[in-house]
Structure 1
Amino acid sequence: MYNIPGHHHISMITKNANDNNHFYKNILGLRRVKMTVNQDDPSMYHLFYGDKTGSPGTELTFFEIPLAGYTYRGTNAITRIGLLVPSEESLHYWKERFEEHEVYHAEIGTYANRPALKFEDPDGLRLVLLVGEGERLDFWETWEKSNVPEEHQIQGMGPVEMTVKRLDKLARTLTDMFGYTEVSRNESEAIFQSIEGEVFGEIVVKYQDGPSERPGRGSVHHLAIRVKTDEELEYWAEQVKQRGFHSSGIVDRHYFKSLYFRESNGILFEIATDEPGFLVDEDVETLGEKLDLPPFLEERRKEIEAKLAPIKD
């Protein structure tokens, strides 16, 4: 059996690509590593932010839907995203930065048993900065042109929170199928790690009854978890099939290959390969600066560009 090395990326809905671009580049200091379109609906932007090269485990991605309404919070949804910072000193840096830029945030406290600072983006997406394990993550590459000092830069994804009606159903999918370890549990919450002791593959599952979330701006579309090779992806495709989940089948997204399925609560998972990555069609120096299209959409470039509002950097 293969193991899951951690998160690959997570995808959300934004109402305005310009506001989104400003927040994640200029306030959070991430690099926009890919400006492309939703391959299933190329009339909308798909923006990727991460470290210097958009390493798996650092990528936050957004679909722009200008007509998106408000999210009506509820259960059976991905409800918060953890981002890792190097130290408790970093939390104080970020609290001051959020106050300077009028970003909605809480006081410094704890989350998933770690020092933490909760905040929201302009769409109301719920995020939290957490102190990692004290060492630089080996897959994270410093973005030298970030306006955030290196010692406080966001180093990738940490715990991802899922709120569901049937906690045990999701628990079995994570442990029995994917090999996650359940590291803690109480009557309303359980924490799972893809690699025991490592925060970058952690999933926090909370129990909540009631109406399911109605997605809109600031909601999470799906979580992608990592696999290293095409061979591993084929293995997981068979595991998903054997357990009776309906899936998309393996899809070539040009920057990675992947498969989508919904677990029993309706949470959408993607399983995505590490390679070939975002440098397959662009140099590292100019990564994310122009609109990139996968080869099958390139002949429609003029039509696609005509429908997209320019993003002002």
Structure 2
Amino acid sequence: MKQTDYPLGLHHVTAMTSDVEKNYRFFTEILGMRLVKKTVNQDDIQTYHTYYADDKGTPGTTMTFFDFPGNPQGIKGTNSVTRTSFRVPNDRALDYYLTRFAEFKIKHEAITEVFGKKVLRFWDFDNQAYQLISDENNHGMAPGTPWQKGPVPVDYAIYGLGPVEITVSYFADFLAVFEKVFQFKVVAEEGDHVLLEVGEGGNGAQVILIKDTKQAVGQQGYGEVHHIAFRLAQAESLKVWETLLNVEGFPNSGFVERFYFKSLYVRIGHILVEFATDEPGFTVDEPYETLGESLALPPFLEPNRTYIESQVKPFKTN
């Protein structure tokens, strides 16, 4: 495998919500992230798939959501993705959001530290777990651009994904896959927590792996993460990964066309991992100025627009 085939860092995290409209308001009005794509789940076209990111929908800045009809609430536990991080420019930004969360009555904790970085943990109305992480003194993968027309001052606003927290009972086996197959490196350890990074490293290219053999296994549903995705620079790398995963004995999806990026999926134990390309990006079918304002469909779903619009509940995003 060539260096250019290695993951660059985080691409996106996809979770599940009980209410797509409340989720939209939470991410845009409170967190100050931009809705860059309102579309549907390509594998379940009766379900919205919404994408929140930085100002331009830069790879490595995106949190996405499904709203599966009738989906039960998830149950927290081991063998799951347990927390998603968002990058903010500095420690002062954490102070800003601390005040903001109190104002909007968002469940949160005091500012603490994780692996030497200041963080602010919080939860949404579905009890989905997040944290803001300060980029002060951070080095590595560059952040995106704060939403220029958002409600949060650009000097404080979220502009990228930070370390994703994964909790597993089969810690040694999982760690071995990330090190030997996915090319991550251990850069710090704190008790049963290990910090891994890939590519240029830094907050935008890290995973926090936690050993937990005591909790029951978590169950997916709204309020939980569906999968995590890592960035690839080029579509050609997907074939390289398909070959490598087959050799290593990991069943995988092979190439999947998602229109906004090209993908491959593989499950490591309970954790669904996606490799996704940086290109073509979210402006492939909408201009920068109106990203996320209307229901966007990839060309292969456009013939089904009338049916899809009859199935999903409209909500205003412009």
TM (norm. structure 1) is: 0.96
Which deviates more, 179-188 or 159-168? 179-188
**Which residue identity is paired with 1:59?**
T
Q: Confirm whether residue 311 of structure 1 aligns to residue 315 of structure 2.
A: yes
What is the CA distance between 1:197 and its match in structure 2?
4.6
Which ranges in structure 2 are unaligned for 5 or more consecutive residues?
Answer: none
Q: Does 1:89 align with 2:75?
A: no
What does residue 160 of structure 2 align with?
156
> Do residues 251 (structure 1) and 256 (structure 2) align?
yes
* 2:302 partner letter: E
Residue 195 in structure 1 maps to residue 219 in structure 2: no
In 2, distance between residues paired with 1:28 and 1:159?
18
Q: CA RMSD in A?
A: 1.5
Given that 2:112 and 2:120 are in contact with CA atoms closer than 8 Å, whether structure 1 keeps it comes out as yes
Deviation at residue 187 of structure 1 after TM alignment: 4.5
Preserved CA contact (<8 Å) 2:38 2:49: yes
Q: Does 1:107 align with 2:110?
A: yes
How far the C-alpha of 1:186 sits from its partner, in A, is 4.7
Instruction: State how 1:1-313 maps to structure 2 within 5 Å.
Output: 1-2=2-3, 3-134=6-137, 138-195=142-199, 197-209=201-213, 210-263=215-268, 265-313=269-317
**What letter is aligned with 1:254?**
F
Residue identity opposite 1:279 in structure 2: T
Taking a change above 3 Å as real, the CA distance of residues 148 and 307 of structure 1, as seen in their structure-2 partners, is same
Say which SS state the counterpart of residue 204 (structure 2) adopts: helix
Which amino acid in 2 is paired with 1:236?
Answer: W
Q: How far apart are residue 229 of structure 1 and its match?
A: 0.5
3-state DSSP of counterpart to 1:304:
helix
Shift of 1:177: 0.9
Cα distance per residue 1:106-129 (max 9 Å; x no partner): 011112331111000111110001
Kindly tell me: are residues 207 and 130 of structure 1, through their superposed partners in 2, closer, same or farther at Cα, counting changes over 3 Å?
same
1:86–1:134 CA contact under 8 A, matched in 2: no
Whole-angstrom distance in 2 between the partners of 1:25 and 1:187: 36
Give me the whole-angstrom Cα distance separating, in 2, the residues matched to 1:33 and 1:231. 26
The answer on whether the counterparts of 1:55 and 1:140 sit within 8 Å (CA) in structure 2 is yes
Find runs of 4+ consecutive structure 1 residues off by over 6 angstroms: none
Distance 2:181 2:300 in 1: 34
Identity, % of aligned positions: 38
Matched-pair contact (CA < 8 Å) for 1:188–1:206: yes
What do the CA deviations read for 1:158-195 (whole angstroms, capped 9, x no partner)? 11000001111111111111211111235512110013
| SS of aligned partner of 1:151 | coil
**Per-residue deviation, 1:52:** 1.5
Q: Which runs of 5+ in 1 are unaligned?
A: none
Q: Work out whether residues 181 and 196 of structure 1, in 8 Å CA contact, stay in contact via their aligned partners in 2.
A: no
Q: C-alpha displacement at 1:144, in angstroms?
A: 1.2
1:211 offset after TM fit, Å?
A: 2.3
SS of 2:300's partner is helix
